[in-house]
Structure 1
Amino acid sequence: MTIHDLLSPTGSDHDEALFAPGKPTLSYKQLYDNVIQLSAALNSFGIGRGDRVAMVMGNGPETVVTFLAVAISATAAPLNPNYKKEEFAYYYEDTKARALITLPGSAELAREAMTEDMALIEATPQEDGTLSFELIKGQREPRPTELAAPEDVAMILHTSGTTGAPKRVPLRHSNIVASANNIKSTYNLTKDDTGLCVMPLFHIHGIIASTLSTLAAGGKLVCPPGFSALEFWSWVDTYKPTWYSAVPTMHQTLLARAESNKDIIEANPFRFIRSSSSPLPPVILERMEEVFKAPVLEAYGMSEACHQMASNPLPPAQRKPGSVGIGFGVEVGIMDEEGNLLENGELGEVVVKGPNIFSGYEENPEANAEAFANGWFRTGDQGFKDEDGYLSLTGRFKEIINRGGEKISPIEVDDVLLRHPAVSEAIAFAVPSKVYGEDIHAAVVLKGDADEKELRAHCSAQLADFKVPRRFHIVDEIPRGATSKIQRVNLAELLGIS
């Protein structure tokens, strides 16, 4: 199947599809017809199957429509609008982008970084909520009107590159549709559901989990201009979403504002809340379920798997705090260093296989040789499966702290710190040590009174001595990346610790 196939069953349906504050609502028929029209426009500009098209647009329905149009006729390369000029230039060259699409009067640095042979296309909103594409420069010989095939690359993304240059991740239509349908079935999404998209639409989480799974179910998608803790609850009150998906830092921010929005929360209960893209401390999950009165389902995703690999299931099935659940449409295993699959309860590397898993990094045979073993994709995450097959992660191998041979999972330390009543945010991380090779520190944001001595005593009461951070850095905020994820492996450097 292709993204076109995923969208077309609802193409004749007049049910509402896309909502956004202050903008016209699009029906499924308007959405489908507009996407087909725009894909044909790309073909008339000389852009078609196999061509990479950079997209630099903030969140909103325009981005959803543009992504769908590009993906079904060419290859979408969504980029973070906050990149510097040099970063845009790097990604244009690395993806071999033939065109840039952006909104009129926007993305100045992205435009400046364009090469001479790139086409520039503006996506102009129309009064009825649809889009038109206007070619500003770069007309080529028109291509035949043609839609992509299942094995065509629909989207190209990059790994975060925390341990070297980013790697290109090509995702085929078949991968994307498999993942969207997996998520749809995991949460029993239907046309009666309304999803609120607060994740960036240049990130796999927002594109697949929030957007395409909702559209695959024929549901309503609310697409505001991005995450805003100030406006979130007014969106909930207006659009009555049945679910949303976000990273843990967003959930924590919403928890902090829950008390002043109690009436809206009680009047608009979620069917479920989803968390993914980084570990959700069990204490935060417990507080969310207590405050929001909805099941909080932690999931596990990666770009290479077209997002979701595992998730806790909906009630009445069991959900386990601290676990990322079970595979839905994905096989999940634990492997040792020699490539042997391990039994439940044994610690090793998490490996996955399934139709949503990509087939390999582009032009990177060395990375591919390391990434695959016996038909399984090696995630680089350490974990184990319990007696019920539920997966628990103990950290990324590159994040596991090796203190003189004693291995420390920083996730465990995070959860203990977050249980202190004065702690708002906490993250444990490795620092270089002449004695141990690595030692453990923690960055902490406080919401009450506590000092380093008190935090150490709190940790010592619940952790073995070697797991207790040697230093606690009290900070106003913890540095984050573009998708609100904390890059643990870079934290010592970001905080100026050597």
Structure 2
Amino acid sequence: MTDTLAALIGAQDTSAPAIGAPGRDWLSYGGLADQAARVAAALHGAGVGRGDRVAIVLPNGPEMAVAFVTVAGVATTCPLNPAYKEDEFVFYLEDLKAKAIILAEGESGPAHAAATRLGLAIIRLSVEAQTPAGSFALTAEGNAGTADTAAPGAEDVALILHTSGTTSRPKIVPLLQSNVAASARHIGASLALTPADRCLNVMPLFHIHGLIAAVSSSLAAGGSVWCAPGFDAMKFFGWMEEARPSWYTAVPTMHQTILARASRNAETIKNVPLRFLRSSSASLPGPVMEQLAATFGAPVIEGYGMTEAAHQMASNPLPPRAQKPGSVGVEAGPLVRIAHEIENRLVEGVGEIVISGPNVTPGYEGNPEANAKNFFEADGRRWFRTGDQGQFDDEGYLSLTGRLKEIINRGGEKVSPLEVDGVLSAHPAVAQVVTFAIPHPKLGEEVGAAVVLKEGAEATEAQIRDFAGERLAAFKVPRKVVILSEIPKGATGKLQRIGLAEKLGLVEQA
């Protein structure tokens, strides 16, 4: 059994195409292996090796995809959102205990400033003209010390991501090589991926969805990935014509904007028939699933994933089985069960969704309290609590009935209300703040904040939003700030996030 990402990729036909991009030649699996050897030499030469943590801050595209899979064959990858501000980078780099950071040649923005402040080894990535997609050179600025040059094994950490939590700090999720390899195989099996398949990737590659569902599962199956430089609905159908994909994976908001442009691109849809479309990271409205299937003449496979599961937990099956709108499908890799929401036991009916399997993280790093709360033993297995409530129908299809946590899911981007609270609370005019979800027709949820000003202080909604915008990535900035004399409280006097949008009249009545 191949239990590392490098072993899965190394087993493929070296002459087959692996990585593509707009206007670039294809990088073959043989070329990818050569690139992996160059990355290993560069990292080892910079004093970085097995067990060391390497932050990767690059724009979306073939270099980011290849950097992830090749660095994972040497060290531990820590992809970060390039949109973060300097203070956010400082927090994440310190929290991750990063030893080095990979930045594009000439990059001198917030990530570089943060890395310089922390004294990290900076490794520059440069691309020569006319080289295949995903080919690059790494050049170290300084040396990080000594390195373990042994190849990572199944129990080494391949990937670390942060997940927003209801605690004041985002939680660190380490995913082992075996977790990532298992998830790549699970996704490949549920989508019946073969070397003939090609994925058009529009997902960000600092997020579990793009890293595992698009890139890792394709390469583990010997297929190819055509890497767009991000998502752009205006360019999507042109990319389809160039890439000739058999599938793409996206979040619901992307699918909706693609649908809005589909009628004027009917010829492309006809010329580039898709085997299936995939949706994940947020609930896909049933009518959107049906419209996508009718427009593309292909099944829409909705998946249910999360970072702690190295992405996929459940998936709507391919034909001839049904794809049920409003359901996230059947278990697709790990065991999926329903547990009592408080007691550590499995139950029938409605309850908290729990999972157990080879793709599940061994536990949050440095957070015994979160591990005690989220993992339990029952029926001879270790189960992870997802924080989602749901139930199975009589055919084994899972439906989500609500979220037990207060995390805001803005089109697949998870926002911790407590993190936003902390930033807004630092505004000199703000006395009290509570961040909450506002239902949104396309994104699912939008970020809102209720604020009480200090006595005698003045601040406008725009000023508070500008203050947040200087300190938070754009997707975390509240789109609506309501200034109140008092924030509604629950019966116990506790500030309540859930239902606050309705209490404040911010929900459109149907």
Q: How does 1:472-483 map to 2 (within 5 A)?
A: none
- C-alpha displacement of 1:145: 3.1
Q: How does 1:36-435 map to 2 (within 5 A)?
A: 36-106=37-107, 108-114=109-115, 115-126=117-128, 127-129=130-132, 130-137=135-142, 139-143=143-147, 145-161=149-165, 164-336=168-340, 337-343=342-348, 346-374=349-377, 375-398=382-405
**1:22-50 deviations in whole A, cap 9, x for unaligned?**
22321110011111221122012111111
In the alignment, the residues of structure 1 paired with residue 238 and residue 477 of structure 2 have an alpha-carbon distance, to the nearest angstrom, of: 25
Secondary structure, aligned partner of 1:72: coil
* Structure 1 residues 321 and 482: CA distance shift in structure 2, 3 A: farther
- C-alpha displacement of 1:264: 0.8
Task: Provide the residue aligned with 1:5 in structure 2.
Answer: 7
In the alignment, the residues of structure 2 paired with residue 105 and residue 200 of structure 1 have an alpha-carbon distance, to the nearest angstrom, of: 21
Q: Which residues of structure 1 form unaligned runs of 5+?
A: 402-409, 415-438, 447-478
In the alignment, the residues of structure 1 paired with residue 328 and residue 254 of structure 2 have an alpha-carbon distance, to the nearest angstrom, of: 18
**1:172-195 deviations in whole A, cap 9, x for unaligned?**
000000000000010100000010
* Structure 1 residues 62 and 491: CA distance shift in structure 2, 3 A: farther
* Structure 1 residues 442 and 28: CA distance shift in structure 2, 3 A: closer
**1:137-190 deviations in whole A, cap 9, x for unaligned?**
3x1444353211110001110003465321000000000000000000101000
Secondary structure, aligned partner of 2:267: helix
- C-alpha displacement of 1:253: 0.7
Secondary structure, aligned partner of 1:358: coil
CA contact (8 A) 1:242 1:270 kept: yes
Q: Which residues of structure 2 form unaligned runs of 5+?
A: 412-435, 444-468, 481-496
The normalised TM-score by structure 2 is 0.78
- C-alpha displacement of 1:354: 0.3
In the alignment, the residues of structure 2 paired with residue 55 and residue 93 of structure 1 have an alpha-carbon distance, to the nearest angstrom, of: 14
**1:31-72 deviations in whole A, cap 9, x for unaligned?**
111112211220121111111111100111111121122211
Secondary structure, aligned partner of 2:72: helix
CA contact (8 A) 1:371 1:377 kept: yes
Residue identity in the other structure for 2:202: V
**1:435-471 deviations in whole A, cap 9, x for unaligned?**
xxxx99754579xxxxxxxxxxxxxxxxxxxxxxxxx
In the alignment, the residues of structure 2 paired with residue 395 and residue 70 of structure 1 have an alpha-carbon distance, to the nearest angstrom, of: 37
CA contact (8 A) 2:183 2:310 kept: yes
- C-alpha displacement of 1:397: 1.0
Secondary structure, aligned partner of 1:299: strand
In the alignment, the residues of structure 2 paired with residue 260 and residue 395 of structure 1 have an alpha-carbon distance, to the nearest angstrom, of: 37
- C-alpha displacement of 1:107: 5.0
Q: How does 1:448-487 map to 2 (within 5 A)?
A: none
Secondary structure, aligned partner of 1:100: strand
Residues 194-203 or 41-50, more deviating: 41-50
CA contact (8 A) 1:57 1:103 kept: yes
Residue identity in the other structure for 1:206: G
Q: In the comparison of the two structures, how many residue pairs are matched?
A: 427
In the alignment, the residues of structure 1 paired with residue 10 and residue 111 of structure 2 have an alpha-carbon distance, to the nearest angstrom, of: 32
Secondary structure, aligned partner of 1:381: strand
Secondary structure, aligned partner of 1:285: helix
In the alignment, the residues of structure 1 paired with residue 437 and residue 212 of structure 2 have an alpha-carbon distance, to the nearest angstrom, of: 35
In the alignment, the residues of structure 2 paired with residue 175 and residue 284 of structure 1 have an alpha-carbon distance, to the nearest angstrom, of: 32
**1:245-267 deviations in whole A, cap 9, x for unaligned?**
11000001111111111111122
Task: Provide the residue aligned with 1:405 in structure 2.
Answer: none
In the alignment, the residues of structure 2 paired with residue 220 and residue 340 of structure 1 have an alpha-carbon distance, to the nearest angstrom, of: 42
Residue identity in the other structure for 1:356: N
CA contact (8 A) 2:48 2:148 kept: no
In the alignment, the residues of structure 1 paired with residue 198 and residue 324 of structure 2 have an alpha-carbon distance, to the nearest angstrom, of: 25
Task: Provide the residue aligned with 2:418 in structure 1.
Answer: none
* Structure 1 residues 14 and 492: CA distance shift in structure 2, 3 A: farther
Secondary structure, aligned partner of 1:258: helix
Residue identity in the other structure for 2:112: R
- C-alpha displacement of 1:328: 2.0
The normalised TM-score by structure 1 is 0.80
Residue identity in the other structure for 2:261: R
**1:53-105 deviations in whole A, cap 9, x for unaligned?**
11100111111121122211111110000000100000010001111101111
Residues 85-94 or 61-70, more deviating: 61-70
* Structure 1 residues 485 and 20: CA distance shift in structure 2, 3 A: farther
CA contact (8 A) 2:406 2:498 kept: no
In the alignment, the residues of structure 2 paired with residue 487 and residue 279 of structure 1 have an alpha-carbon distance, to the nearest angstrom, of: 21
Secondary structure, aligned partner of 2:126: strand
**1:307-364 deviations in whole A, cap 9, x for unaligned?**
0000011000122111111112210000112222122xx1100000000000100000
* Structure 1 residues 400 and 91: CA distance shift in structure 2, 3 A: closer
Secondary structure, aligned partner of 2:170: coil
Residue identity in the other structure for 2:140: L
* Structure 1 residues 64 and 97: CA distance shift in structure 2, 3 A: same
